Structure 1
């Protein structure tokens, strides 16, 4: 009763305050109350260990200068201040993005770059129709891109790169008519690039490299009127070609399509007038290199690691700005293994066949100044001679080691035939050493300005970490001075005020820089920027107001460091509003503030009472659950032990991530290397699944099941500690993008058999038996010897137990859980889980092993696709070509077994024991040369005698089967071989 009265009082008081604040706000310009509520909700969803947002609890957001909040009056002239920018760059924030962001309906810039945010992008951001800059890059965001983002009519830039976003690009993005910059690289975005994006009129930069895109490259991209950069490296457009229409891209400056699985010829790109950077390496392109002369603007050509034939076109000697003709590799025979070290900006390629001669015109028909260089990397091919002069300019480097030309006794070519030397840093890294000054003479935070017109004067700089995301060159040194002119001009500074302290090439390739900006030298001044200049320069970076450059491409601000007096500059001011802080404070009367506080206190007390009751009940349940987990052989670790094992969960220790959270590689105090699965708040793995996995794994012991070492259940954390599996998941090993080398057919059969044996143990040997319910390639782990081990028992269910009459039900009735593509259709329709449900899922895994494909790709179902190929007699067209040679009869039997496991009708599927038996048969049919390099499938235990076959012919006899009836398949005893 008391609580009800208190709530009523609070409601009445809040209503009065609303009308009062509305009246005062209309006359005195305080922040819109709805936006204040939204900001508080946003802060509530964030974790702020450095307390950067500590002032978000004090005063009015716009008038009290809340950190990162920038406001102004709205064009509606409703009297309120509205949040226009949320600038929270690099503040070590974690937590999630609140849906309440959608209530900041006047926002123009949303900037959460370079934090550690998790969770998904709220679809409510699509409600902010005024939004121009959506900057979320450099976090750990997951989930898919909301369709709603495609309806932001004023969006200029979307940056979500360097997250863990998955799923397809929404077709609604074709509505973003004002968007110039699509920066979505370094995620897990999948599916087809929507052809509808070809109608975007403003698109300038399209960066989607390092994702899981597939399908084809939209030919219509040639019609994009303003496209300058198309960068989609490291995706999976397997078997498709580069559209011929791409030669019509009239404004294109950079085309980067490396390692995309592309085939076919290189289109004629000579009609692109300003093309400066062409990277098509690591595909399966074939045919000859087009002989038409490329643009005079070209600086880098990389066609290495393809299947091109012919010789180097003579037109390459007519390219005046060519910096680097990188490893033109022509595969005349079968593709070989290629090793690349791009970190050093040098391509090292071995065992290929570039034929013909090298024309010296490539290096003699050009003039290089002291800062320019040309690198020709042609080693380990079949080049027979150099035509023309062998005298090369000082700034040209040619590598020909491993070609026949170096086998000749010709002293003139010796200079080209040594190993690739370490000639400095190849423009990869550098520091500025323009002037040497006595650093100790400047008191902190003053520093010497090394580039000033006055040598060694002390000033306080602004320190900026900055990165070029897609530069149009591969060597920065020749462009360094020009870059300083460009950036200082863009910032409206003198060139001497900018110092490029250091730079370094990173993977991408991207160019990281450390910059210092110094104030102008004025005699007898403090040599510091004033507050308004600090704000102006900062806003130039954070508002992307520096003009774009064709050569330097898009940039990103990584960090802005404010030293000394600059630390007190409130960049997030409301000076746009034209309302003085004093006036606003005077207008907000003390009575309203007091009433607001009183209302908040009453509501908070009620909320705390309810929260405490809920927390106490949950804590009691957790204590009861944890008390039941005192299990022999399974250690209860403390949070401190887990933090110590993973270097406080450092990102370098992270080895995987799923819907439940992250997986870390850790080292326990005893030196044992383990895998630690740490559930994140709100993850798919709830309390029930956590306890289920501990309870089940603690009593399951089999060489093909992952072993549980311990768990941690304290400080709001849920962690499971497993044996470490150094070769990762089966899914990763089947992925062309992630696997180090393809797996042979014999190894795939051994993995299939190990997985089946582990599941057979669950079905028949565990007590009571268990249905796994989530068998998939990512839940099959591989140890150092590629032994398969089934993992992740969070969704597992105990098999039916006998009823009163002694009958055993054939199924468990339960809600449907599992992974799309692996789900038993009958279980999905009837909710009846059986052992044959696991058989179906494992059958899908077998199809993955045979094809390398995923269960669902571009809306196509793997089971259906393979069935179609099987019945049309084209089954070998879907077999994974990466596994090399294989016995066709064994592949057919394996495929037949896989499809039998995937029958829609439950009764038509084999039992797991039958699956194991047939896999053993396939193994025995395989040639000895295929199986001898793999680990033995069985090791007889001491005291068990194995009778060998009577003749060697029986060893390879395909008409043998294994009798596993009554056998313990984990006993190590070879089953009896009987005639079939």
Structure 2
């Protein structure tokens, strides 16, 4: 009887589960986290605010055996039979709140990492109880209060990073007891008082970074006794009336000495005995006397003595320094002649350069030739020599401040590989010159905190070799996507790490799980060896694409104890007979169920959704509109699925996006797009005609846009290039559509994926913003009526269009859309793609703009154009692409400025109607566009990779936010 069979199966299953559970209980006490540490973790969780729900699994199971996010444990039980927390890795997870004093109960932890969050409050003194602690990483938060004296008694501490907080008070003298500490990174705080001379006792200190604080008092001469100090960086403090101790010339291992803007006075000491010195910055002080004439290190790249009170002549010892990149003596009282040997003896290759800044001195002439070799720049403004009418190169008398362009560029050559279309989420790998292939990279935000050079270009290959060796990767697995100098100076980079391609088996598109974990550990554990020239680094983010969440299945680093293993084996023997008795029945039932699921997929499905105001199509209706989704009706394909051109029974031509099974867009994006577009009506937003959600299908039906995407029309394949007036009209329409989302929609909406392939063009080239699958509702007022400035969310969007601040902080604002639109504006002007062959459009246009060569990047296919209007439009685009959110204009300002440029356009350059709607005019819903008989471009699908779910800083488990 069926009932009897079901009953017997159920009884057998219960017996099986009971026996299996019993087997697991054998030795279970040997495989759980120490109860005190469990309580500590729960207390830590209570004081943190976790807006992105990264720690949602901290209330389930055991921390070590259930893989709590960010909790790493030892591989086996310790001497007390319990598992213990080894690392707490909570990097860049948008956590706020405060640090619990219960941290001190994690008695065997080695790494405490809360970098790049929004945590406030003070540093708990109880951290000083963790005698096992090796890395204390709290930088990039909002911590306040003094440094706890108790930290100075941590016997195993290797690195303390509290930089970029609001720490105040003095440096505790107890820190002189940190006999194993190599790295003091305390810059960018409000630390005050004098540097304790007792710190000179530290035997292994390598990096001493205290710049940008409120330190005062004398500069301790005792620091010269530190036997292993390589970087002393104290810029922007106030050692008023202090001289640089002569003993600093005895720091035999010093590589970098940076004392900029410290209110120092007196002479420059003799530093010639520091044989490895590579970087010297004593600028913006009150140093006087002459510059020492002793020979400096042959390793020196940078000498900055500008903005002091130095007198005398330029020493001859500055000539012949083989790798010197920058010599700045500006704004002193130097006199005499300028020796041309400063530059004439230089032999520079294509990546090397030399800047000599001698502005605002009393220099009268140049000894030798004034002909500058390639890549040498000389600045002389404000010297008597510039009044010499016989000077053969008057451009030398220009001001450097008007022409500073920091060298920054992506670096890898891709000449051997042509771009190719890769299936989402893979991308073309530029690192392989022998076998081009599609792969999914690991994305790393990385910053050199105190590099020993002024220009990175000559050191790129050396850096790639250094980092790949440190990570134990092949040289061609690293790609420097971009780099940029920031205040400090610090060098921020975005890196991509690619898996190794195996040509013989055509495999290697993904890193395996173990390799992802290993590479992450190398960064977060600071296992990459220090470098003399590159100095200390910091990890800004470690980002995984969606596909790695599928393969990077969390495994417990704690392992299973021996007792538990024995129990499982014995239990397995005990249940073997029972298992064999039911296995046949289980197999038959699974096969039958699978058969029924497959056979009914087209007959039944989940309950279809219902959205008021939007037509719900049946599968049959859309099948008839596309001739049963015939390949002849297909007009494109993307990560979401295929796009078909269809004709409805009333003759209306539509575009139908049909999701493929297991689509990366997913049900949430499908519902988001329907729900948003059902209530959005604006002439510059694409209209949703309807949807289909039945028989296992998810399809979206849009008005048909016969002129395709803006990206298609800007490409070289477009047969009819657009004039500037057409491009400006498209820019204005796009901006108005986004302005409607930000200000008129109720509630307002952040689009989150503005790009040229999501701007569609109707028969009259009216721009319509499309694709709202990634959009998010803007913040709403809280109970007190205040409106938050951002939405905290996982990073999504398209590389090249992503707001850099959103990428790093996960804080989405209306200015994130402004940044993306600014990139679109640059595309309109240049025809370039956001990222192509390692070149970033924002960086390329910025460099051209700053060098006065802006018209060299304008799209030649645009024809004639009014230069004043083009320049104003380009300036607006660059303002939109400012890295700092607050520096970007609002969408209201963007629309008004484009309107102003439109009004400036001369009639002879228009070619389109000049009438416009003002920004204050509220638009009425447009009627559906008239049907068209052909589709020139694919209006909804592009080859751009979009929708990458970037998850930062979650260790060891990768959880969605």
TM-score (normalizing by structure 2): 0.56
Separation of aligned partners in 2, 1:26 and 1:180 = 40
Is residue 539 from structure 1 mapped to residue 521 from structure 2 by the alignment? Answer: yes
Is residue 371 from structure 1 mapped to residue 373 from structure 2 by the alignment? Answer: no
Question: 1:757-781 CA deviation, whole Å, 9 max, x = no partner?
Answer: xxxxxxxxxxxxxxxxxxxxxxxxx
Alignment CA distance shift 1:150-1:419 (3 Å): closer
Separation of aligned partners in 2, 1:26 and 1:220 = 56
Partner of 1:146: 148
Question: Are the aligned partners of 2:31 and 2:65 in contact in 1 as well (CA < 8 Å)?
Answer: no
Q: Secondary structure at the match of 1:412?
A: coil
Question: Are the aligned partners of 1:69 and 1:573 in contact in 2 as well (CA < 8 Å)?
Answer: no
Separation of aligned partners in 2, 1:258 and 1:533 = 42
Question: 1:199-245 CA deviation, whole Å, 9 max, x = no partner?
Answer: 00010000000001111111111110100000010011111111110
1:404 positional shift: 1.4
Alignment CA distance shift 1:305-1:642 (3 Å): farther
Question: Are the aligned partners of 1:376 and 1:399 in contact in 2 as well (CA < 8 Å)?
Answer: yes
Q: Secondary structure at the match of 1:496?
A: helix
1:639 positional shift: 4.2
Separation of aligned partners in 2, 1:384 and 1:245 = 35
Partner of 1:354: 334
The residue correspondences of 1:525-924 to structure 2 (distance < 5 A) are 525-568=507-550, 573-575=555-557, 577=559, 579=561, 583=565, 639=782, 643-644=786-787
Question: 1:755-810 CA deviation, whole Å, 9 max, x = no partner?
Answer: xxxxxxxxxxxxxxxxxxxxxxxxxxxxxxxxxxxxxxxxxxxxxxxxxxxxxxxx
Equivalent of 1:33, from 29, 32, 35? 35
Partner of 2:276: 274
Separation of aligned partners in 2, 1:428 and 1:222 = 35
Question: Are the aligned partners of 1:29 and 1:584 in contact in 2 as well (CA < 8 Å)?
Answer: no
Question: Are the aligned partners of 1:133 and 1:157 in contact in 2 as well (CA < 8 Å)?
Answer: yes
Partner of 1:43: 45
Equivalent of 1:472, from 435, 438, 452? 452
Separation of aligned partners in 1, 2:74 and 2:507 = 33
Separation of aligned partners in 2, 1:283 and 1:641 = 49
The residue correspondences of 1:448-487 to structure 2 (distance < 5 A) are 448-487=428-467
Separation of aligned partners in 1, 2:434 and 2:563 = 40
Question: 1:253-305 CA deviation, whole Å, 9 max, x = no partner?
Answer: 00000011111111110100100000001111111111111111111000111
Partner of 1:319: 321
Alignment CA distance shift 1:80-1:646 (3 Å): closer
1:28 positional shift: 2.8
Partner of 1:958: none
Equivalent of 2:198, from 185, 196, 219? 196
Equivalent of 1:307, from 309, 316, 322? 309
Question: 1:823-866 CA deviation, whole Å, 9 max, x = no partner?
Answer: xxxxxxxxxxxxxxxxxxxxxxxxxxxxxxxxxxxxxxxxxxxx
Separation of aligned partners in 2, 1:54 and 1:136 = 22
Alignment CA distance shift 1:649-1:525 (3 Å): closer
Is residue 286 from structure 1 mapped to residue 266 from structure 2 by the alignment? Answer: no
Separation of aligned partners in 2, 1:579 and 1:490 = 33
Separation of aligned partners in 2, 1:157 and 1:365 = 43
Partner of 1:333: none
Partner of 2:370: 390
Separation of aligned partners in 2, 1:183 and 1:210 = 11
The residue correspondences of 1:12-161 to structure 2 (distance < 5 A) are 27-72=29-74, 76-161=78-163
1:366 positional shift: 2.5
Partner of 2:16: none
The residue correspondences of 1:157-306 to structure 2 (distance < 5 A) are 157-306=159-308
Partner of 1:677: none
Separation of aligned partners in 1, 2:211 and 2:404 = 29
Partner of 2:386: 406
Separation of aligned partners in 2, 1:569 and 1:544 = 25
Question: Are the aligned partners of 2:412 and 2:431 in contact in 1 as well (CA < 8 Å)?
Answer: no
Separation of aligned partners in 2, 1:501 and 1:439 = 15
Question: Are the aligned partners of 2:65 and 2:558 in contact in 1 as well (CA < 8 Å)?
Answer: no
1:26 positional shift: 7.6
Separation of aligned partners in 1, 2:360 and 2:414 = 40
Alignment CA distance shift 1:103-1:458 (3 Å): same
Question: Are the aligned partners of 1:71 and 1:82 in contact in 2 as well (CA < 8 Å)?
Answer: yes
Alignment CA distance shift 1:119-1:153 (3 Å): same
1:102 positional shift: 0.5
Question: Are the aligned partners of 2:414 and 2:433 in contact in 1 as well (CA < 8 Å)?
Answer: no
Separation of aligned partners in 2, 1:101 and 1:144 = 18
Partner of 2:468: 488
Separation of aligned partners in 1, 2:551 and 2:229 = 39
Alignment CA distance shift 1:588-1:114 (3 Å): farther
Question: 1:525-557 CA deviation, whole Å, 9 max, x = no partner?
Answer: 151111001111000000000011000000000
Gaps of 5+ in 1: 1-19, 331-352, 590-636, 651-980
Separation of aligned partners in 1, 2:178 and 2:77 = 23
Q: CA-atom RMSD, angstroms?
A: 2.9
Question: 1:74-115 CA deviation, whole Å, 9 max, x = no partner?
Answer: 785221110000001001111111111110101000001001
Separation of aligned partners in 2, 1:509 and 1:45 = 35
Q: Secondary structure at the match of 2:363?
A: coil
Question: 1:122-142 CA deviation, whole Å, 9 max, x = no partner?
Answer: 011111100000000001111
Q: Secondary structure at the match of 2:142?
A: coil
Separation of aligned partners in 2, 1:588 and 1:385 = 93
Question: 1:632-686 CA deviation, whole Å, 9 max, x = no partner?
Answer: xxxxx97478644866899xxxxxxxxxxxxxxxxxxxxxxxxxxxxxxxxxxxx
Alignment CA distance shift 1:274-1:519 (3 Å): same
Gaps of 5+ in 2: 1-21, 572-779, 794-961
Separation of aligned partners in 1, 2:149 and 2:385 = 58
Alignment CA distance shift 1:645-1:178 (3 Å): closer
Question: Are the aligned partners of 2:291 and 2:315 in contact in 1 as well (CA < 8 Å)?
Answer: yes
Question: Are the aligned partners of 1:435 and 1:451 in contact in 2 as well (CA < 8 Å)?
Answer: no
Question: Are the aligned partners of 1:303 and 1:329 in contact in 2 as well (CA < 8 Å)?
Answer: no
TM-score (normalizing by structure 1): 0.55
Q: Secondary structure at the match of 1:538?
A: helix
Alignment CA distance shift 1:365-1:581 (3 Å): farther
Q: Secondary structure at the match of 2:218?
A: coil
Separation of aligned partners in 1, 2:348 and 2:110 = 46
Question: Are the aligned partners of 1:26 and 1:79 in contact in 2 as well (CA < 8 Å)?
Answer: no
Partner of 1:672: none
Question: Are the aligned partners of 2:141 and 2:165 in contact in 1 as well (CA < 8 Å)?
Answer: yes
Q: Secondary structure at the match of 1:130?
A: coil
Question: Are the aligned partners of 2:512 and 2:552 in contact in 1 as well (CA < 8 Å)?
Answer: no
Partner of 2:680: none
Separation of aligned partners in 1, 2:227 and 2:453 = 23
1:25 positional shift: 7.1
Is residue 516 from structure 1 mapped to residue 496 from structure 2 by the alignment? Answer: yes
> Paired residues, what number?
562
